[in-house]
Structure 1
Amino acid sequence: MNSTVFSLSALWLVSITSISTAQAHSTEQIKVETLTKQQYSWNGSVLPAYPKGQPEVQIMRFTIPSGQTLPVHKHPYINAGLLLKGELEVETQSGEMIHIKAGDTLVEVVDTWHWGKSVGKEAAQIVVFYAGVKDQPVTLKQD
């Protein structure tokens, strides 16, 4: 047998044995957890159809210092967030309000003027996923 072929075969056998041994010793299982699945925003409004145009997904992380209030704004597209740290209160101009804590998810209101405030002892940190359209803003501020 050619020594190069023998060396490659031996290397392959050692690699497979190492992988099999590593897999045999692993006791952890893959876990999948659905954090939220819904067709409604947090205030009970039915989510609108996705807009026409080239889809563009944006994922943003916001850090809002404790006591800080975001300006009044609205989102023309569906978005959802996961609060990593702190506490947030979100309120619409009509007075609807939700209070979320670290680990909670939030499916935002669409085309509804609202604002958020960091109300916990530490800064609120939220990751938000926007399902928007290329070259169009995901947030509009009230004048």
Structure 2
Amino acid sequence: MKKNLISFILPCCFLFLFTQAVPAKETGTVVKELARTQHSWDGALLPPYPEGQPEIRILSITIPPGQKLAVHKHPVINAGVLLSGQLRVQTTDGQVLNLDAGEAIVEVVQTWHWGESIGKDPAHIIVFYAGEEDIPVTITQQP
């Protein structure tokens, strides 16, 4: 039931945003789909949405040049867009994804990985998490 509700509400929100009184062609508005997939960047099928109360989080994350994040995993589906800089994401089993500014990522779920700012400028990414109330969006691996 909740999955159906999410599947209905999200498209309705986007439909509302893009169906205002003035058509996009007349305003010069450009809509570009950055990602559309059922898989994370490593090719794994995304898991079903949780059954509990849905919770959306949007985080702005800036990683200084040369900084490597701690090994972590996400128990929820998330996706982001790298706004500036360069970002390398690597899983503990050796899979690597390199992102440049403007590129989208659909993150791995329940897979240990880390990110690293590899350019001369900070890597700034906006990440959208589709989770569940009281469920963390990130779990850091303990040494």
How far residue 111 of structure 1 moved from its aligned partner, in angstroms, is 0.1
Task: Specify the alignment match of 2:131 in structure 1.
Answer: 132
Larger radius of gyration: 1
User: 2:45 and 2:120 mapped to 1: Cα distance?
Assistant: 33
| 1:56 corresponds to | 55
| Structure 1 residue 136, shift from structure 2 partner | 1.3
- Please state if 1:70 is matched with 2:69: yes
Deviation at 1:133, TM superposition (A): 0.4
RMSD over equivalenced CA pairs, Å: 1.4
Partners of 2:112 and 2:86 in 1: how far apart? 20
Runs of at least 5 residues in structure 2 that lack an aligned partner in the other structure? 1-21
User: Scaled by the length of structure 2, what TM-score is found?
Assistant: 0.80
- What is the one-letter code of the residue matched to 1:136? I
How many angstroms apart in 1 are the aligned matches of 2:97 and 2:29? 33
Q: Secondary structure at the match of 2:93?
A: coil
1:1-143 alignment, distance < 5 Å: 28-143=27-142
- Identity value in percent: 53
User: Which blocks of at least 5 consecutive residues in structure 1 are unaligned?
Assistant: 1-22
Distance 1:32 1:62 in 2: 24
Q: Tell me the residue number matched to 1:16.
A: none
Superposition deviation, residue 86 in structure 1: 0.2
CA deviations on 1:114-143 (whole Å, 9 max, x unpaired) are 000000110000000000001210000000
Residues in 1 aligned to 2:42 and 2:135: alpha-carbon distance in whole angstroms? 25
Alpha-carbon deviations, 1:85-124, whole Å to 9, x = none? 0000000000000000000000000000000000011000
Hey, which bits of structure 1, 4+ residues long, moved more than 3 A? Answer: none
Normalised by the length of structure 1, the TM-score is: 0.80
- SS, match of residue 56 in structure 1: strand
Supply the distance in 2 between the matched residues of 1:29 and 1:65 (Cα, whole angstroms): 35
